[in-house]
Amino acid sequence: MTNTKTGADIGVYGLGTMGSALALNFAEKGFRVAVSNREAGWIDSFLAESGDMAGQLEGHADLADFVKSIARPRSILFMIPSGAPMDAMIEAITRYLDDGDTLIDGGNADFHDTRRRAAAFEATGFHYVGMGVSGGAEGARHGPSMMVGGSAHSWDQLRPMAEAIAAKFEGIPCVAHLGPDGAGHFVKTVHNGIEYADMQMIAEVYGLLRDGAGHDAAQIGALFERWQNGPLSSYLIEVSAAALQSVDPKTGQPMVDVIRDQAGQKGTGRWTVIEALKMGQSASAIEAAVGARGWSAEKEVRVAAEPLLAAATLEADLPGADDLERALLAGRILAHAQGYRILTAASDEFDWSLDFAQISEIWRAGCIIRSALLDALSDAFRAGVPEGHLILAPEMRARLADTVPALRRVVAAAASLGVALPALSASLSWYDSMRRGRGTANLVQAQRDFFGAHGFERTDEAGGKHFGAWNDLAAPG
Ligand code: 6PG
């Protein structure tokens, strides 16, 4: 593109892995990029290593110079730790801004912070964008998926640059303006919640094959590699297949066998679950995945418990590879359905009018949860989803009818063998809860009324509050 403006097209502040990669991506697409960083030394190293892109880049250690070097109205992208550092940054930079300038937080921020900051900016002439960026370092460098929340003004400003650097799915950029204030960061949070569930369910199938059938890492990796050619095709299956077949140069053992079984987490999965519960939802597959990471941290307890707690003694044949593949697909569909249900609840609560087909479309490439399923989900949303529940969409009902029987066999076999499948079994329980017209909450209501006179509604009368004619408890013997 030809640059006729004076000054850089965009500023990128924060030259860690993600910030550096995004700055180079903008530069490669022909934009002029001003860069800055809290530690000034990083700027020189970044510029020195920028190779062919050096001509498109300029570095400024001084914040005022950095802002001045960007063409107005300015777009300034921050790739810095979320929370207090972002608040400090806003405090430091706003004095240099002019009307119409936009600050963009590209980190994994808590959407409540984004809403608070966007509201504070409303009284100024400046704009605040919360932008979820997915795809890791490789995605940021060559094409991330981006979820944008903010004003229409900011989107007009950012759109040509964001579309140029985004991942493309059949030529369509994987970036969209999803709504105001925290909408982009919330959608990214739920993306990560689904990411947690998908990772966990893949790990559960690995665990069943390892502990239930004694398969080694390379065998399981080879099976996942085959699945990459079928309906499970996805970045996370591809990554898992490659990881399982990687060898530790130090010991010659499979790489995964020398990794301690304790998973880290930065918080987005937990936020998804917390927000779901606050809105009266339960993303049980995502919650199971967050919980499993928590339990993994209790390594010493698990080691001590292994000889103390009785193992399963039931006989069971491990379901075949076709069943495992179908079970994983069922779990993936159900976890996505839970994620979209949370998005629906948040869209209603915060008045965002989220477009679920559009969200599915920008998740088809670039992001960590990209998969063949997402293309089918966007078609399902475009065709219309009854009751706002993805599991009721005709195409998803058909897929679930085809895959849930396998999920039942896998969960039953794992229970008999004593192999934990927290996310897969949670997704199955959710499916069975949702498909039963009459559940068991009538007894919960009876219990509540029995001990607390909380009242209940009757099945044979509309509305109203009724109290039960309860039997007395037997006198203590
Ligand atoms: C992405 C990822 C990314 C996230 C990592 C690590 O979409 O690119 O979601 O944003 O930071 O996956 O997250 P945890 O440390 O919480 O596992």
Q: Which tens digits make up the pLDDT trace of 375-427?
A: 999 999 999 999 889 999 999 999 999 999 999 999 999 999 999 999 999 99
pLDDT in tens, 339-362: 999 999 999 999 999 999 999 999
| CB atoms inside a 10 Å sphere around CB 117 | 20
188 a catalytic residue: yes
Domains of the chain, by residue range, sit at 10-181, 189-434, 441-477
Question: What was the pLDDT predicted at 3?
Answer: 44
What residues contact 399, with CB distance under 8 A and at least 6 apart?
Answer: 329, 330, 333, 376
For residue 99, which amino acid is it?
A: D
Q: Residue 400 Cα, ligand 1 centroid: separation in angstroms?
A: 28
* DSSP reduced 3-state for 28: helix
Output the CA torsion sign for 244, 247, 251, 253: positive
Q: Which atom of ligand 1 is nearest to the CA of 199?
A: 17
Q: How many CB atoms lie within 10 A of CB 355?
A: 16
pLDDT of residue 336: 98
Pocket test for ligand 1, best of 141, 262, 266 (most atoms within 8 A of CB): 266
| Secondary structure letter of residue 466 according to DSSP | B
Given the residues 195, 204, 287, 325, select the one marked as catalytic. 195
Residue 1 has pLDDT above 70, yes or no: no
> What is the CATH class of 189-434?
mainly alpha
- List the residue whose alpha carbon is closest to atom 1 of ligand 1: 134
For the segment 198-206, the average pLDDT, to the nearest whole number, is 98
> Can you tell me the distance from the alpha carbon of 230 to that of 80, in angstroms, rounded to the nearest whole number?
38
Cis peptide, bond prior to residue 85, ω within 30 of zero: no
| CA–centroid distance, residue 138 to ligand 1 (Å) | 13
Overall average pLDDT of the 235-245 stretch: 98
Mean pLDDT of the 217-224 span: 98
* Assigned superfamily of 10-181: NAD(P)-binding Rossmann-like Domain (3.40.50.720)
Give pLDDT, residue 313. 87
Q: Cα–Cα–Cα angle for 364, 365, 371, nearest 5°?
A: 55
8 Å CB contact between 104 and 75 = yes
Has 266 been annotated as catalytic?
no
Ligand 1: residues with CB < 6 A are 108, 134-136, 192, 195, 264-266, 268-269, 367-368
The pair of three-digit structure tokens given for residue 10, joined into one six-digit string: 């965009």
Residue nearest to atom 10 of ligand 1 (CA): 134
Q: Give the N- to C-terminal CA distance of the chain in Å, as an integer.
A: 88
Amino acid identity of 258?
A: V
Q: How high is the mean pLDDT of the chain?
A: 96
Share above pLDDT 70 across residues of the chain, in percent, rounded to a whole number: 99
C-alpha 458 to ligand 1 mean position (Å): 47
Task: Tell me which residue of 283, 383, 381 sits closest to 336, measured CA to CA.
Answer: 283
**Helix, coil or strand: residue 46:** helix
Distance from the CA of 192 to the center of ligand 1, in angstroms?
Answer: 7
**For residues 310 and 273, what is the distance between their CA atoms, to the nearest angstrom?**
31
Place of tokens 């605040």: 128
Q: How far apart are alpha carbons 245 and 225 in whole angstroms? A: 10
Q: What per-residue confidence (pLDDT) applies to 95? A: 97
Top-level class of domain 441-477: mainly alpha
Q: Pick the residue whose CA is nearest to atom 9 on ligand 1.
A: 192
pLDDT band at 5 (very low <50, low <70, confident <90, very high): low
Query: Mutation test of ligand 1: which of 134, 141, 186, 192 has the most ligand atoms closer than 8 Å to its C-beta?
Result: 192
Residue 90 pLDDT > 80:
yes
Cα distance between residue 120 and residue 111, in whole Å: 14
Residue of 79, 126, 119, 122 whose CA lies nearest to 100? 126
- Which two tokens mark 319? 């379901």
For the CA of 293, the closest atom of ligand 1 is 17
> If you measure from the C-alpha of residue 329 to the centroid of ligand 1, how many angstroms do you get, rounded to a whole number?
22
For residues 103 and 160, is the Cβ–Cβ distance under 8 A?
no
* Encoded amino acid at 106, one letter: G
The vertex-145 CA angle with 137 and 222, nearest 5°, equals 65
Of all protein residues, the one whose alpha carbon is nearest to atom 14 of ligand 1 is: 265
Atom of ligand 1 nearest to the CA of 196: 17
Which atom of ligand 1 has the smallest separation from the CA of 192? 9
Q: Residue 130 is encoded by which pair of tokens?
A: 């919360």
Q: Which residues contact 236 (CB under 8 A, 6 or more apart)?
A: 195, 198, 199, 202, 368, 369, 371
Q: What is the pLDDT of residue 2?
A: 42
pLDDT, tens only, 99-150: 999 999 999 999 999 999 999 999 999 999 999 999 999 999 999 999 999 9
Determine the distance separating the centroid of ligand 1 and the alpha carbon of 183, expressed in angstroms: 18
